[in-house]
Amino acid sequence: MEAFTTHTGRAVPLRRSNVDTDQIIPAHWLKKVTRDGFEDGLFEAWRKDPSFILNQPEREGATVLVAGPDFGTGSSREHAVWALQNYGFKAVVSSRFADIFRGNSLKNGLLTVVLEQKIVDALQELAERDPQAEITVDLEAREVRAEGITAAFELDENARWRLLNGLDDISITLQNEADITAYEAKRPSHKPRTVQV
């Protein structure tokens, strides 16, 4: 995973609540067997509407998505995170994220930042008023900064450490190989098995 320390970029205000992962990347895109090439599928249905925010020329190259509450609900498809990253987003700001989407984002280095709704509103207003306005998402300082706005955000220390260092979860877990083996040795015999090995 790519490390995330701090990022500054222009923003896209997405004034919708409950943006589900079917909207972020529709199911027919899920037939791909790679982690890349999903950028054209991002918000595919909404992008057919010329007035949709991502279609506005001044939003080209924006890297911070400022979304409505309950972003990423529904399906567990990690493709939603890949689609946002493939398109160029580095961070998503919302007052609430769905649990699975949030977990997936942090495993891929897409920083999902939870801020109070009134701060999200202020960031959306800023981005709407001035498409050139930049937002800084600073993971080291755990702070979001923009013109006239400074807001601290929470992220658990372990997740932050892994993001800052771009660490691979599997390698970390395998350092505890002895614990896993010890646990396996004491599992009861009535637990189900799919095959005899």
Partner 1 sequence: MGRTLAEKVWDDHVVRRAEGEPDLLFIDLHLLHEVTSPQAFDGLRQAGRPVRRLDLTIATEDHNTPTLDIDKPIADPVSRAQLETLRKNCADFGVRLHSLGDVEQGVVHVVGPQLGLTQPGTTVVCGDSHTSTHGAFGALAFGIGTSQVEHVLATQTLPLARPKTMAITVDGELPDGVTAKDLILAIIARIGTGGGQGYILEYRGPAIEKLSMEARMTICNMSIEAGARAGMIAPDETTFAYLKGRAHAPEGEDWDAAVAYWKTLRTDQDAEFDAEVVIDGAALSPFVTWGTNPGQGLPLSASVPDPASYEDASERLAAEKALEYMGLDAGQPLRDIKVDTVFVGSCTNGRIEDLRAAASIVEGRKVADGVRMLVVPGSARVGLQAVSEGLDVVFKEAGAEWRHAGCSMCLGMNPDQLAPGERSASTSNRNFEGRQGKGGRTHLVSPQVAAATAVLGHLASPADLSDAPAARTPAGV
Q: What is the Cα–Cα distance from 77 to 33, expressed in whole angstroms?
A: 12
CB of 82 to partner 1, least distance (A): 9
State which amino acid sits at residue 140: E
Single out the residue of 6, 10, 2, 9 nearest to residue 130, CA to CA.
Answer: 10
Which of 17, 136 has the CB closer to partner 1?
17
List residues binding partner 1 (CB under 8 A): 15-18, 20, 22-23, 26-28, 30-35, 45, 68-70, 73-79, 81, 96-100, 103-104, 107-108, 156-158, 169-170, 172-174, 176, 179-180, 183-184, 187-197
CB of 77 to partner 1, least distance (A): 7
Which of 63, 75 has the CB closer to partner 1?
75
Q: Three-class SS of residue 58?
A: helix
CB of 91 to partner 1, least distance (A): 18
Which of 10, 42 has the CB closer to partner 1?
42
CB of 9 to partner 1, least distance (A): 24
Enter the tokens of residue 64.
């911070």
> Nearest 5 degrees, angle CA 176-CA 179-CA 185?
145
CB of 180 to partner 1, least distance (A): 6
Which of 45, 152 has the CB closer to partner 1?
45
Which of 63, 73 has the CB closer to partner 1?
73
| Residue 137, C-beta contacts closer than 8 angstroms, at least 6 positions apart | 6, 7, 8, 64, 90, 91, 93, 111, 113, 144
Q: Three-class SS of residue 68?
A: coil
DSSP 20: B
Which of 20, 143 has the CB closer to partner 1?
20
CB of 99 to partner 1, least distance (A): 5
Count, in order, helices (H) and strands (E) of the chain. 8, 7
E-strand ranges in the chain read: 6-14, 64-67, 91-94, 111-114, 134-138, 143-146, 149-152
